[in-house]
Structure 1
Amino acid sequence: MTETKVASNRRPNRVCNNELNREWQAFWLAVGFLSRVPMPVRIDYSPQLMNQSSLYFPLVGLLLGLSYSLLFLLLATLWSPAVSVGLVLAFHLWLTGAFHEDGLADCADALGGGMTVRDKLKIMKDSRIGTYGTVALVMALGLKALLLLEVSTTALALLLAPCIARLTPLLLMRYLDYVSDRDRSKSKPVAESFSADRLLVATLFTVLVGLVASLWSGWLLLWATLATAGTAALWGWSLKRQLGGYTGDALGASVVMSELVLLLLLALG
């Protein structure tokens, strides 16, 4: 009888430990998915775990932003703000493998050059970059650099923008259908579904970051809400109209767009 009670008491602890271990793995899987940072833990990979990792996108964004902000402060002691911003952007592109920028370029080529949904999805899968993609990429990076120099606190913008912008793809994943080839897409495990509970947790985390940051910038929480919700609504509407849903590239593009919208609002003062 006593042995049965001991075994019964151990089961909840074992389940709890397993859940914590899965969340820990999911976090590092998100780090590895969004950046070149090597994963220091053993990952029991599964499509479910890959999907579960989406919850940690804003947290990973905050950690990336912390590295950008600290690097800018260091570089600014040696060079001008313009040179420092340029070097930080170069570091960002290397650290993330231009992951989201690639999605922006692919979306620009597909939506700008495709006539039918089938054509657009085909162009989006093409690894080559066209005129629309090149122009979009140059304009996005150039505008981002200018806005980072325009905002009152560049280091704070570098810290917060990557975190806040990475909530936008989670909103798209929750409220739109995935329209790419599920059997061939590398984004399939991430994009198949996203639970309302995990979206709520990610949203609350991002709001908390915005609230804390509002101590330095009173309008930041409002700007963050407009950037994420506004971009998700307008970009989501465009994707629904042109493709019937979203793709992995569209999720990446939404991050770049959200960052730019947030920086535009922060530049207002």
Structure 2
Amino acid sequence: MREETVTLRREWQAFWLAVGFVSRIPMLVKVDYSQRLMNQSSVYFPLVGLLLGGLYVGLYSLLELWWTPLIAVLLVVGFHLWITGAFHEDGLADSADGLGGGYTVARRLEIMKDSRIGTYGTAALVMVLLLKVALLTTVSPVWLGLLLAPAVSRLTPLCLMRWLPYVTDPDTSKSKPVAEGFSRQRLMVAAVGVAVLALAFQVALAALISIALVALVWGTMLKKSLGGYTGDTLGASVVLSELVFLLLLAV
């Protein structure tokens, strides 16, 4: 088999592995799983976000025929939580509990591994979901926020993975295979893809600010509080980037 064919086959599998990692969408191809392939799949996270955004737009367009925009957005957000398994929202809640309730790095990491949700996590989750619904009903057109926010926001964790060290128990972390070996070249490919998308829809400034601001502020906080990032904090960065991006679109 030619090298180009092998490379294309590996990238095709990496894409579907990314789909399966961040959503409940069934993988339509057989994937020869390896840690290397999991590393490679990270570059497709923004593309998977765009795929999810397309589903949200299609569902919203149907729901809007029968209900008000507010009800339609609420149902779409509910669908989002189901199709993604609330993957990133869970990371946000765990991060809020750990950073808010721990006084040492070890204690913060211990709290973040606890499957139970605490006061900080509950408050953060409720506020984030309320704000997201409010912003989506304010953005005009609504479909723009639904389509682009999931794609733009998924570049932020790739930046954090490249610039910060990984700090957690490697034997219990789902994100370890993603975190290890993420190359600068694949980050640039993902960044160029998001830039082209943002330019095409004339939201490049909002995309740049949301990614850079969250990566800088959240990344600095993680460096100070944990010494690096965990899988939960990567998920939180997606949610935070979505909110900042939607805030800028709603201005």
TM-score normalised to structure 2 length: 0.99
SS of 2:2's partner is helix
SS of 1:163's partner is helix
Equivalent of 2:169 in 159, 165, 181: 181
Q: Distance in 1 between matches of 2:195 and 2:181?
A: 22
Equivalent of 1:79 in 49, 60, 67: 67
> What are the Cα deviations for residues 100-128 of structure 1, in whole angstroms up to 9, with x where unaligned?
00000000000000010000000000000
Q: How far off its partner does 1:183 sit?
A: 2.3
Q: Which consecutive aligned stretches of 4+ in structure 1 deviate over 4 angstroms post-superposition?
A: none
> What are the Cα deviations for residues 117-155 of structure 1, in whole angstroms up to 9, with x where unaligned?
000000000000001000000000000000001111111
Which residue identity is paired with 2:206? W
Which residue identity is paired with 2:42? S
Q: How far off its partner does 1:15 sit?
A: 1.1
Equivalent of 1:231 in 209, 214, 218: 214
> What are the Cα deviations for residues 20-65 of structure 1, in whole angstroms up to 9, with x where unaligned?
1100000000000010011111110001101110000000000000
Residue in structure 1 matched with residue 179 of structure 2 by the alignment: 191
Residues 107 and 124 of structure 1 are in contact (CA less than 8 Å); yes or no, is this contact kept in structure 2? yes
Residue in structure 2 matched with residue 6 of structure 1 by the alignment: none
- Backbone CA RMSD of aligned residues: 0.7
1:104 aligns with 2:87: no
Which residue identity is paired with 1:100? H
Q: 1:99-138 maps to which residues of 2 (within 5 A)?
A: 99-138=87-126
Residue in structure 1 matched with residue 239 of structure 2 by the alignment: 256
Identity of aligned residues (%): 63
Residues 173 and 193 of structure 1 are in contact (CA less than 8 Å); yes or no, is this contact kept in structure 2? no
Q: Distance in 1 between matches of 2:250 and 2:144?
A: 12
Q: Distance in 1 between matches of 2:143 and 2:217?
A: 28
Q: Distance in 2 between matches of 1:181 and 1:230?
A: 28
Q: How far off its partner does 1:193 sit?
A: 3.0
1:94 aligns with 2:77: no
| Number of residues of Structure 1 aligned to a counterpart in Structure 2 | 251
Which residue identity is paired with 1:247? T
Which ranges in structure 2 are unaligned for 5 or more consecutive residues? none
Q: How far off its partner does 1:184 sit?
A: 2.1
Residue in structure 1 matched with residue 27 of structure 2 by the alignment: 39
Work out which of the two has the higher radius of gyration on C-alpha atoms and give 1 or 2. 1
TM-score normalised to structure 1 length: 0.92
